[in-house]
Amino acid sequence: MTNPAFAYTDPHAYPSYFDGGLLQLIGWRILGFLITILTLGIAFPWAFCMIYSWEASHTVINGRRLRFNGTGGQLFGNWIKWLLLTIITLGIYSFWVEIKIRQWKVKHTHFA
């Protein structure tokens, strides 16, 4: 028996769209930038989660809205680990940090 949640449907039957606005995006990015600058980068994980949570909540794929459940605290632990690995490897690990952030982001993104 197939799980109806994973059953194939016509990709054109349900729309995919983004319903966020430009002014909202600019506002969230400015707020994230200010939080990061005022804390000397320590609060970057919280700013990142705040901005991506907004982005995911305004994204609909095949008629289903996305939800991001990651927190700045969760990302902060990884952020420190990745920073230490970058320092230990004299910057070489920094090439993998963007991939690690994307993996973490996708791991915490679900359908609402």
- Number of separate domains in the chain: 1
pLDDT for the residue 13 = 78
Tell whether 1 is covered by a domain.
Answer: no
pLDDT tens sequence across 18-48: 999 999 999 999 999 999 999 998 999 999 9
pLDDT for the residue 5 = 59
Give the chain's residues under pLDDT 50. none
Q: Domain containing 31: what range? A: 14-111
DSSP lists the bridge partners of residue 110 as: 67
For strands 109-111 and 64-68, give the pairing.
Answer: antiparallel
pLDDT for the residue 109 = 97
Predicted TM-score (pTM) of the model is 0.81
Tell whether 5 is covered by a domain.
Answer: no
Distance from C-alpha of 68 to C-alpha of 109, rounded to nearest angstrom: 4
Cβ neighbours, 10 Å, residue 109: 17
pLDDT for the residue 75 = 95
